[in-house]
Structure 1
Amino acid sequence: MPQTLPQALLHQAHTRGSAIALRYKRLGIWHERSWSELAHDVSGLAAALYTLGFGRDDNMLIISQARPEALSLTLAAQWLGGSVTLLDPNCDNRALLADLKPGFVLAENLEALQQLHERGVALYLDGRGLNHPQFADVIAYADLGTDTPAPACALEATAPAFVFHTETTVQLSHAQLLTGARTLVTREQLSGDEEALAARVFAASGQARYLLAPWLHAGFRLNFPEALATRDTDRRELGPTLVLGTRESYARLEQSIHERLPLPGTFGHRLYLWAMQPTPSRVRRWLGHWLIRRPLLDVLGMSRLRVPLLIGPALSPRSAAFFGALGIHPGNWQEPSSRQASTDHLLPQSV
């Protein structure tokens, strides 16, 4: 049984090598990477990081939206026994970065690099605007490569995989993440046939617990939208079977539907209210489904949804009623306390 996240990746590459591990969209076109291709990519990145001096007990700081490159470099750093800290590029991280003084950084773009007061080895994804002499030493992610093979994959299950800086510093070990992933996969009956959308930045521990680790354990497909602005369009195009969200993200989707509804008092609005009300009538349920509820699910990109997950606080009564009328009842997974998450590396977390 795999003991670390990169070991779980290698296990999937060995058992499901040709199956699709992830998809990502570029210029409107979906690209795919199989499990074997992804494992090869991560191994190559681990070798390149090793030549740059990254090793066991080092931390890789990543300031990026959810992108496949950030995910691959995360697994490469963990391959070498290091940990990863993920920050949202849309937040002002300057005060935190001044304290951290990171030795290894992956920055999404110029704006992310400019948040750094000091930097060691710095990598970037988007090079626009980086022709200034002050960025002469930064390295393009696309240029990472070496002929030297990667060291053997680290095996320490209790080593920290992620370090999150919120109110306190929270460390999540490989063992903690994989134990939680097994619990979630069993409880939600996840399989390798799931389609999940990685629309949110990975800077929250819930993403590591309830999306990344289960993805590696179950071997389903992880899909990256082209940009945050296109996530709703891309969700409709994909029709994911697994959605991970928060109270706020579900409320945002609900609000997007309410903004499309006909004006109150019109026939269309009365039909919507009629279709969304619970009823013992089979005919009314059938008509309401095909006239209103099924089209709404298509607009939300949730017509194939099988496993809705919710992290943190429960939905508001209004949101719960709205999604409940559509047949969506998110399974709630509560985040453990910061103290528990940072000290209890081996025990499964309460959900």
Structure 2
Amino acid sequence: MSAANETAPSAGGFVADRPAHGITHTMPQLLERLAAQRPDQIALQEKRYGIWMPMTWKVYRERVRDFAHGLAGLGVQRGDVVAVLGDNRPEWLIAELAAQSLGAAVVGIYPTSIGTELTHVLAVSRARVVVAEDQEQVDKLLAMDAESADGVLVEHIVFYDPHGLEQYDHPMLREFTAVEDAGREYAKGRDGWLDDEIARSEPESLAVICTTSGTTSKPKLAELSHANLLSMADRLTEVDPIDASFRYVSTLPFAWIGEQMLAVACSLHTGFTVSFPEDSSTQRADLREIGPDVMFAPPRIWESLLSEVQVRIDESGPLKRAIFGWGYDVMDRAATVRAEGKKPGAGLKLAAGIADLVATRPIREQLGLTRIKRCYTGGAPLGPDVFQFFHSIGVNLKQIYGQTEICGIAVLHRDDAVSFASVGEPLPGTEIQFGDKQEIMLRSSAVFRGYHRNDDATGEAVTRQGWLHTGDAGYLDDNGQLIVVDRLKDVVFADDGTMYSHAFIENKLKFSPYVEEAVVFSGTGLDVPEAADADAAMCAIITVDPATVGAWAEHNRISFTTYTDLASKPEVYDLVAEEIATANEGLMERIRVNRFVLLHKQFDPDDDEITRTRKVRRNVIGERYAPIITALAEGQEELTMESTVTYQDGTVAQRSLPLRIFDLTGYSLPAGRVRRKVWSGRK
């Protein structure tokens, strides 16, 4: 591992000068091996009509081969790209492995994608075949007009949920099972042909194209090879052993590198079972039923699980609350000792065993985390308080750090060194050093091949020596663990050289169960940190969590109708003011939030305000809410926003909404206020 003050290599064109990865196979080749070694073991299972429907490795392989022959019949060839648009189903993975069996690649599209977001991926990838889930996705594809779909080459749409499509008669449409049937016909007289195609593929062949987060522009398409993905899986399981007995529940979009990382690469690398919930509304229940051994989720999932705990405990009786409070305090002390690299003493260990039995184990059972052995969070920073909460209830949660361009993971906590403020240490075979302004730079065999049809962007991202510019600022702490400050473009440097991040402050605010999103800024430099005034008051635009704030309002007999009405209540402003004041206590004085406003609406990915993975697009917020930002920076007491409201019948109306600005200067917490417990929404 390179020293923190080492100068980074200069940027330039990319050459594949990387450490040897030792990967000698592709993912379809691994599928062939697993089907031969354990044909009758369960590879995938999907819940349908309340019943888990298993698929063995043998059947999985047969369906992949049938669909691969079917794709070949549709004209898919080596070097092509097949797009997949839909929610997580076995058919998604069958399509992916089938395309790869032919030497083609797959590009995933988020099922919520619409308009130019959809056509951009299709145009850049030049996909001629799209595998779509259901009527909703098919309708979006058929509705693309010639003007908006410039460059789109789609010829065939294959759907795997026929409900509602029975009467559709369009020459591009084909049912998934019909393509499999056609594949079996295509295979006749071509004995050994597909085996040869699978054998021809090399580990360095293109396997998957994943879209980047695209917080400031249209997403780029990152090319990942079989070797990239499988070397990442090999290094991850070297640190955290995972075997075929593990169970994993697939809930995150396959278009995201995080799900490709575990549900695809790690599953094929180790042979564990992947389970698919019946519906998004049953995910929590299905998670509890399966009891996964390994889990990966972004911070918003862990935050929502904590909110669920808070609601449940707040609704329980005084005795249960008291027992849990005692048990949590004991477990928290034990978790703190372990986080310091020590072992709890005999007395604390005994007390923790009792506390776990009567208090925290029932919580893990409710969350479906009783059997969990490996669980990770990534994609965005997780607040240290949330992090510690899960360790205090006996969940060995670890932060990972990476990005799409390095297969999602490059840095990981070790079991005996989980620091709530860091993201851990580099995986084996991963090098790290720091460039200008402490930019984190990484190098390993998992670094991507480049951006699809975008050589200029590839040259900017990867140096000639194979170093990946992450675009993040950070440093190593005294224990050699990586501290990520924020995106380099979002880091602010104070006059004394202190480096701080708005994201760190935002995460402190979002730890409150009442705060859904927070956008923090100083001066008017929201999307241009260079314009931020380090001496100006820190301000925040807040959106409240409608579930927890709504429950709090009902408990306190505060009536409301809509989200806008709820967010405008003086009582809600006072509630959030207390939460922000509490968060300020843990911040340096110069970066404490002084003024805030409760936004009249939630941030919405369909409005481009946040990405599909819920990362805030600061440039969009800065432009759209410029009057609010100016009013906060100037210390105004209120302002009026013009809002367009579209009703269900399609009618549109303009509304003038008064917004109050709350000034925390001189604010002090109410006398006698008891600090809210981390596990409770009550004061």
Q: Structure 1 unaligned runs (5+)?
A: none
Structure 2, unaligned runs of 5 or more:
1-22, 145-151, 188-192, 215-219, 334-346, 407-446, 451-461, 471-481, 483-683
Counterpart of 2:399 in structure 1 is 332
Q: 1:11 aligns with which of 23, 30, 33?
A: 33
Equivalent of residue 307 in structure 2, options 255, 272, 283:
255
Q: Contact 1:263 / 1:269 at 8 angstroms: preserved in 2? A: no
* Amino acid of the structure 2 residue aligned with 1:112: Q
Runs of 4+ in 1 over 6 A off after TM superposition: 347-351
1:341 to 435, 448, 453: 448
Partners of 1:2 and 1:41 lie apart in 2 by: 24
Larger CA deviation: 332-341 vs 226-235: 332-341
1:27-106 matched pairs, under 5 angstroms:
27-92=49-114, 94-97=116-119, 100-101=122-123, 102-106=127-131
d(CA) in 2 for partners of 1:89 and 1:321?
33
Provide the C-alpha distance between the structure 1 equivalents of 2:31 and 2:105, rounded to a whole number of angstroms: 16
In structure 2, how many angstroms separate the alpha carbons of the residues matched to 1:257 and 1:17? Answer: 41
Aligned to 2:48: 26
What residue is the counterpart of 2:277 in the other structure? Answer: 225
Superposition pairs for residues 108-187 of structure 1, below 5 Å? Answer: 108-116=133-141, 117=144, 119-131=154-166, 135-144=170-179, 145=181, 146-149=184-187, 151=194, 152=196, 153=198, 154-166=200-212, 167=214, 168-187=220-239
Deviates more, 1:61-70 or 1:264-273: 264-273
Q: Contact (CA 8 Å) 1:5, 1:216: kept in 2 or not?
A: yes
Cα distance in 1 between the residues matched to 2:317 and 2:286:
33
The answer to whether the 8 Å contact 1:2/1:8 transfers is no
Residues 307 and 100 (structure 1), Cα distance of their counterparts in 2 relative to 1, 3 Å cut: same
**Would the aligned equivalents of 2:379 and 2:403 in 1 still touch at CA under 8 Å?**
no
Once the 2 structures are TM-superposed, how far is the Cα of residue 338 of structure 1 from its aligned partner?
A: 3.9
Q: Which moved more, 1:120-129 or 1:215-224?
A: 120-129
Call closer, same or farther: CA 1:186–1:338 in 2, change over 3 Å.
Answer: closer
Deviation at 1:188? 0.8
Aligned equivalent of 2:326, options 268, 271, 274: 274
* 8 Å CA contact 1:202, 1:208 repeated in 2: yes
Identity of aligned residues (%): 25
8 Å Cα contact 2:109/2:118 also seen in 1 = no
**Aligned-partner residue type, residue 202 of structure 1:** F
Aligned length: 350
Q: Is the Cα contact below 8 Å between 1:45 and 1:76 reproduced in 2?
A: yes
Q: Deviations along 1:231-261, whole A, 9 cap, x unmatched?
A: 1101111111111111111112111111111
Match of 1:311 in 2: 378
Aligned partners of 1:98 and 1:81: how far apart in 2?
23
How far did 1:267 drift?
Answer: 3.3
Query: 2:367, 2:24 → 1: CA distance?
Result: 36
Q: Do structure 1's residue 246 and structure 2's residue 298 form an aligned pair?
A: yes
Read off the aligned partner of 1:274 and give its amino acid letter: W
Structure of greater Rg:
2
SS state of the match for residue 251, structure 2? coil
Cα deviation per residue 1:206-250 (whole Å; 9 max; x = unaligned)? 211233101001111111111121111011111111111111111
Contact 2:210 2:256 (C-alpha < 8 Å) held by counterparts: yes
Greater CA drift, 255-264 or 233-242: 255-264
**Aligned in 2, Cα 1:329/1:282: closer, same or farther, shift over 3 Å?**
closer
Task: Identify the range of structure 1 (266-275 vs 11-20) with the bigger mean alpha-carbon deviation.
Answer: 266-275
More contact order relative to length (CA 8 Å, sep ≥ 6) = 1
Partner residue in 1 for 2:241:
189
Preserved CA contact (<8 Å) 2:356 2:394: no
Q: Which amino acid aligns with 2:383?
A: S
What is the one-letter code of the residue matched to 1:250? W
